[in-house]
């Protein structure tokens, strides 16, 4: 008979998923920054790379707190989202719509992360892992702030620049 899977098991598997995702994101952000034409968008990608490196360190602390080795497992969702970003870089290179596409791809990443961190924080709380929940909540707040900043950038300049050139 198969072992019954618990919320702890689900938490650990999802933690490995987001750890993998963050490590892929930190590799993708420099490419996005190089591709971005708008200086503010380029700076946002560079800033988020530094923030993501801190989030990876925070995840390592979470693994330590639950007594597990920090390891990732392939996350098909983030692979797909990042692949879409690569497509945008190739298909819209040199066009006025490139930045709007890159920004949209970045927000897809942020929304994925917000979903994962929100779930993990809730489960950590349910499991009585207060210190873990606090670390995850810190990252969730950063991801939400980044998403809001990207939305503001889209609305203030990036989308208008893409439309104006059309």
What kind of architecture, by CATH, is found in domain 7-164? Up-down Bundle (1.20)
Percent of the chain with pLDDT over 70: 98
Give me the residue spans of the domains in the chain.
7-164
Q: Nearest Cα to 112, choosing from 140, 83, 90, 132?
A: 140
Residue 87 to residues 52, 83, 141, Cα–Cα distance (Å): 22, 6, 29
Contact 26, 53 (CB under 8 A): yes
| Per-residue pLDDT at 74 exceeds 70 | yes
pLDDT at position 164: 77
- Put simply, whether the predicted model's pTM sits higher than 0.85 gets the answer yes
| Per-residue pLDDT at 1 exceeds 90 | no
The per-residue pLDDT for range 96-136, each reduced to its tens digit, is 899 999 999 999 999 999 999 999 999 999 999 999 999 99
pLDDT at position 39: 94
């Amino acid at each position: 008979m198969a072992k019954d899977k618990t919320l702890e098991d689900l938490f650990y598997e999802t933690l490995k998923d987001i750890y993998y995702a963050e490590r892929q994101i930190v590799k993708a952000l420099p490419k996005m920054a190089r591709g971005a034409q708008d200086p503010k968008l380029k700076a946002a990608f560079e800033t988020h790379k530094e923030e993501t490196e801190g989030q990876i360190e925070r995840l390592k602390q979470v693994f330590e707190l639950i007594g597990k080795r920090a390891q990732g497992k392939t996350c098909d969702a983030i692979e797909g989202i990042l692949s879409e970003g690569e497509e945008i870089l190739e298909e819209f290179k040199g066009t006025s719509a490139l930045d709007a596409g890159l920004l949209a791809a970045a927000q897809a990443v942020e929304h994925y992360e917000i979903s994962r961190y929100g779930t993990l924080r809730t489960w950590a709380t349910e499991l009585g892992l207060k210190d873990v929940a606090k670390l995850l909540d810190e990252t969730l707040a950063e991801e939400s702030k980044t998403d809001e900043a990207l939305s503001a950038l889209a609305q203030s300049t990036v989308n208008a620049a893409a439309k104006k050139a059309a």
